[in-house]
Amino acid sequence: MNKPLFISAIDTDAGKSIFTGLLAKYLMDQGQKVITHKMAQTGCQGISEDIQTHRKLCGIDLLPEDYQGATCPYVFKYPASPHLAAALEKQEIDPSVILQSIEQLQTSYETVLVEGAGGLLVPVKPGYTTIDFIQEHQFPLALVSSARLGSINHTLLSLEACLHRNIEVKYLVYNHYPKAPEHISIDTLEVFKEYLHQHFPQCRVIHMPLDRAPLRFDG
């Protein structure tokens, strides 16, 4: 059974959901039986909006597991960090429930892609962050970044946190949206590649094009 791949990002609205859906489509086209999962969704009701985005990008309808809540065990109405959105509904997220839902999917699917909420240090519950969950279960990570202003700092800080916690960064996803000046885009990518070469030599860079064209893998 393959380890689930966890998808996080340098901040919110970085392109995690788009990448998760595109990667699922890529793997499906390679013949893999794959499903996506969202650990917690805020700012909506019913079936997770991000799960719906994944299915649309894959060109498929919602799955039975989506209607059962197995692909997103926590959905909260208020658009905030998961810990706060849960507290506003007088709840607290239980990480073991998230893990159980992932393991349930693993019994029927070859590959499970787990999308986080926000960045690595977003609180899931008081005193427990997304990166704690990743580290605890030793999930390999795909980190979504970009060339927009501030991304070098946010990306290298995220990678430093993974290095400190001995987390495997399997992919660095370079989101080409929003479009940046070419010289900035090229230089930013070179900064990332230099850091990866020194600290995560096995990490591959995946390019996510502006027009949601197929993903492109470096190397």
- Residue 21 labelled as part of a binding site: no
Task: Report the CATH number that the domain containing residue 131 is assigned in CATH.
Answer: 3.40.50.300
> pLDDT, tens digit, for every residue of 96-127?
999 999 999 999 999 999 999 999 999 999 99
Non-local (6+) Cβ contacts of 79 within 8 A are 42, 43, 85
- Residue 35 labelled as part of a binding site: no
Q: DSSP string of 136-205?
A: HHT--EEEEEESSTTHHHHHHHHHHHHHHTT--EEEEEEE--S---HHHHHHHHHHHHHHHHHH-TT-EE
- Residue 197 labelled as part of a binding site: no
pLDDT beyond 90 at 72: yes
The CA distances from residue 141 to 9, 52, 62, 71, in Å, are 10, 22, 25, 18
The contacts found for 21-25 with CB under 8 angstroms, 24 or more apart, are: 21/53, 21/54, 21/55, 21/56, 21/57, 21/58, 22/57, 22/208, 22/212, 22/214, 22/215, 23/113, 23/142, 23/206, 23/215, 24/54, 24/57, 24/58, 24/113, 25/57, 25/58, 25/59
Find the mean pLDDT for residues 79-87. 98
Number of domains in the chain: 1
pLDDT at residue 219 in the model: 67
pLDDT beyond 80 at 1: no
> pLDDT, tens digit, for every residue of 7-46?
999 998 899 999 999 999 999 999 999 999 999 999 999 9
Confidence band (pLDDT; 50, 70, 90) for 83? very high
Which residues are part of the catalytic machinery? 38
Domain ranges, residue 88 = 5-217
pLDDT beyond 70 at 92: yes
> pLDDT, tens digit, for every residue of 138-175?
999 999 999 999 999 999 999 999 999 999 999 999 99
pLDDT beyond 90 at 213: no
pLDDT at residue 215 in the model: 95
Cα atoms in the Cβ-side hemisphere of radius 13 Å centred on 78: 12
Name the helix (H) or strand (E) containing 26: helix 16-29
